[in-house]
């Protein structure tokens, strides 16, 4: 469970990117965060694993305060949270297998990760998670040989390998074509439904958010202005979130 309690973020330049946000996300939810560019989606998402430090309020992961955690506890809490970001966060010159194995570094000691002492079970598990995202034949490919969509799926596989119970995805389909976007979001849906992982996604496309999410959060200027099901997200509510700039007819995927 993710509990965001009256959280705010004021950047050093004075920008209020999160303005008193309170939100509880239960295990197994598939939440999409929508809003105009600059609304605070990325700031909110990254505050959940404390890549962004909030300036006020508190965030709890499964009852433990990530915002107040010391270094060791923070590392431990983070092993439960996977991140898929726009920049993919993959070591491009390294193989798919190595990139996925690196998902475990947070829970292994430094020595062990430096010497690459992974167990037989680890290697078997890499094969399993790759099969889940349909990339079994790419185990030894270098990541820079893969398409954008395939790289996103390697990132998803890495969060599965990590056994993250929460998966954060920051604009995972922003640079992908509609078909590939659907594949990536479908993979996340499969992981959500069959493995019970909680998914939190920032997304530009309202159409995709409505199609995949069980719950949609709308942000505007750092404030939470909508929290409901896809069915409750009417055109009128969308116009409010997008400050009158939402036009359903022009809506495209990603």
Locate 200 and state its tokens. 């939190």
Locate 24 and state its tokens. 């509880």
Does the protein bind ligand ADP through residue 41 (CB under 6 A)? yes
SS3 at position 11: coil
Nearest to 125 by CA among 84, 92, 152, 159: 159
Nearest to 223 by CA among 46, 8, 55: 8
Q: Which residue from 4, 7, 40, 149 is in contact with ligand ADP, where contact means CB under 6 A?
A: 40
The smaller minimum CB distance to ligand ADP, of residues 35 and 149, is found at 35
Does the protein bind ligand ADP through residue 57 (CB under 6 A)? no
Please name the residues in contact with 51: beta carbons below 8 A apart, sequence gap of 6 or more.
83
Q: Give the relative orientation of helices 178-195 and 120-132 as an angle to the nearest 10 degrees.
A: 120
Does the protein bind ligand ADP through residue 78 (CB under 6 A)? no
Distances (CA, A) of 38 to 1, 32, 44, 158, 172: 26, 16, 11, 29, 17
Q: Give the separation between CA 77 and CA 61, rounded to whole angstroms.
A: 7
Q: Which residue from 4, 7, 17, 217 is in contact with ligand ADP, where contact means CB under 6 A?
A: 17
Q: Which residue from 28, 38, 106, 148 is in contact with ligand ADP, where contact means CB under 6 A?
A: 38
**Stretch in the footprint of ligand ADP (CB under 6 A) among 10-18, 74-82, 87-95, 117-125:** 10-18
Does the protein bind ligand ADP through residue 13 (CB under 6 A)? yes
Does the protein bind ligand ADP through residue 178 (CB under 6 A)? no
Q: Which residue from 7, 34, 39, 169 is in contact with ligand ADP, where contact means CB under 6 A?
A: 39
Q: How far is the CB of 217 from ligand ADP (least distance, A)?
A: 11
Summarize as ranges the residues that interact with ligand ADP (CB under 6 A).
11, 13, 15, 17, 35, 37-43
């Amino acid at each position: 469970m993710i509990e965001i309690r009256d959280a705010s973020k004021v950047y050093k330049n004075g920008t209020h990117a999160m303005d008193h946000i309170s939100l509880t996300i239960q295990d197994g939810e598939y939440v999409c965060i929508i809003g105009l560019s600059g609304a605070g989606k990325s700031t909110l998402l990254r505050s959940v694993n404390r890549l962004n430090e909030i300036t006020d309020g508190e965030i709890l992961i499964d009852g433990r305060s990530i915002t107040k955690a010391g270094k060791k506890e923070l590392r431990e809490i983070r092993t439960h949270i996977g991140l898929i970001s726009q920049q993919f966060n993959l070591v491009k010159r390294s193989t798919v297998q190595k990139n996925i194995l690196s998902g475990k570094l947070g829970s292994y000691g430094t020595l062990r990760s430096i010497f690459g002492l992974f167990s037989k079970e680890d290697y078997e598990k890499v094969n399993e998670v790759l099969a889940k995202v349909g990339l079994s034949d790419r185990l030894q490919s270098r990541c820079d040989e893969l398409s954008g969509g395939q790289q996103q799926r390697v990132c998803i596989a890495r969060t599965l390998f990590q056994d993250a119970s929460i998966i954060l995805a920051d604009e995972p389909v922003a640079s992908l074509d509609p078909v590939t976007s659907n594949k990536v979001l479908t993979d996340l849906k499969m992981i959500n439904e069959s493995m019970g992982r909680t998914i939190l996604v920032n997304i530009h496309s309202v159409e995709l958010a409505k199609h995949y999410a069980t719950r949609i959060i709308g942000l505007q200027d750092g404030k939470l202005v909508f929290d409901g099901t896809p069915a409750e997200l009417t055109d009128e509510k969308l116009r409010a979130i997008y400050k009158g700039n939402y036009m359903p007819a022009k809506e495209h995927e990603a």
